[in-house]
Amino acid sequence: MQKYSKIISTGSYLPDKVYTNHDIEKFVDTSNDWIIERTGIEKRHIASESESSVDMAHAACIDAFKNCAIELKDIEMIVVATTTPERKFPSTAVLLQNKLNNNSAFAFDINAACTGFIYALDIADKYIKGGFVKNALVVGTEKITSLLDWKDRNTCVLFGDGAGAVVLSSSDTPGIISNTIGSDGSYKDLLTVNTDTEVIEMKGNDVFKIAVNTMGKLAASTLEKNGFKVEDLDWLIPHQANSRIINAVAKKINLPEEKIVMTVNKHGNTSAASIPLALDYANKQQMIHKDNIIMFEAFGAGFTWGSTLLKF
């Protein structure tokens, strides 16, 4: 049995094309002021027609391997969190594996909407701790703008595309300290993409309230069950859906704003990609450092939710 799994490298990719709020004002009845005030979003990246969630995942993984202690051939497991696969099958993870020229890993997708990355990390962590694999690649990738009705101002201003990746390896020291995941399918219709319309439909206000309550409780219980106080936390890296949700959750646990990694202003809501994108941003900006105590937390369609407590 391995003792812990540890993130040893991070990477990300954002498409070149950017829509600012002012760009969106041109085709839907909204305003830069409304979007900033209600969501904190200033801009988002949009994948090109020919760019898929596999292409973005591939670019994020190449980035993660630029400065990594292990090589791609050492990866034994690839888990991709996405709600926007390139094909119905084979999975995004298998298509990614092929693009990465790795033919030794086993690869599969998971769908837990915006919580997907935490679910994927939990699975990979358990494989490593169980001693089944030593090195895993965990990816969140989304071409979520392909699911938008660009005439619906309730949703089209909120989302963006991108991908983030981490290399997770076995370690004698922490590493991931704990993961918690949960779901409740009775909320299935509050945030959904139905197969007949294929666009995101959301009861935003209801989602907002449940997200704040659920993530507030989850953050508190994650710290408590691991014997941590909020002062022990160096950084909260939350799912980036809305700055008001993030700030409300931080307030519930008395976490100062300076300890929040906030990227929703730059990326919008990138669903399963949002936490690994924010993590890589904080890493490249040298905001986070070795041995920092970090908490991830997310909430998404289903509803699903999850948290990870880790030493970086």
**The one among 18, 30, 174, 220 contacting ligand UT7 by CB under 6 A:** 30
The bridge status of strand 77-81 relative to strand 106-110 is parallel
Note if the bond before 90 is cis, omega within 30 degrees: yes
The 227-246 site mask, x for binding ligand UT7 (CB under 6 A), equals --------------xx--x-
Instruction: Find the DSSP H helices in the chain.
Output: 21-25, 32-39, 53-64, 92-99, 116-129, 153-156, 204-225, 243-252, 264-267, 274-284
Q: Could you identify the residue written with the tokens 């993530």?
A: 215
Beta bridge partners of 176: 310
Dihedral sign from CA coordinates of 290, 234, 263, 198: positive
Q: Of 150 and 228, which CB lies nearer to ligand UT7 in the complex structure?
A: 150
* Binding of ligand UT7 by 34 (CB under 6 A): yes
What does the buried/exposed string (b/e) look like for 135-157 if buried means 16 or more CB atoms within 10 Å of the residue's CB?
A: bbbbbbbbbbbbbbeeeebebbb
Contact region for ligand UT7 (CB under 6 A) — 4-12, 100-108, 139-147, 153-161?
Answer: 153-161
Q: How far is the CB of 5 from ligand UT7 (least distance, A)?
A: 26
**The one among 10, 39, 263, 270 contacting ligand UT7 by CB under 6 A:** 39
CA distance linking residue 264 with residue 96, whole number of Å:
26
Residues 178-207 close enough to bind ligand UT7 by CB under 6 A:
204-205, 207
Residue nearest to ligand UT7 (CB): 204
Q: How far is the CB of 173 from ligand UT7 (least distance, A)?
A: 33
Q: Of 38 and 129, which CB lies nearer to ligand UT7 in the complex structure?
A: 38
Q: Which residues are catalytic?
A: 114, 239, 269
CB 234, CB 294: distance < 8 Å: yes
Residues 76-135 close enough to bind ligand UT7 by CB under 6 A:
114
Please give the residue ranges that form the binding site for ligand UT7 (CB under 6 A). 30, 34-35, 38-39, 114, 153-154, 157, 204-205, 207-208, 211, 241-242, 245, 269, 299-300
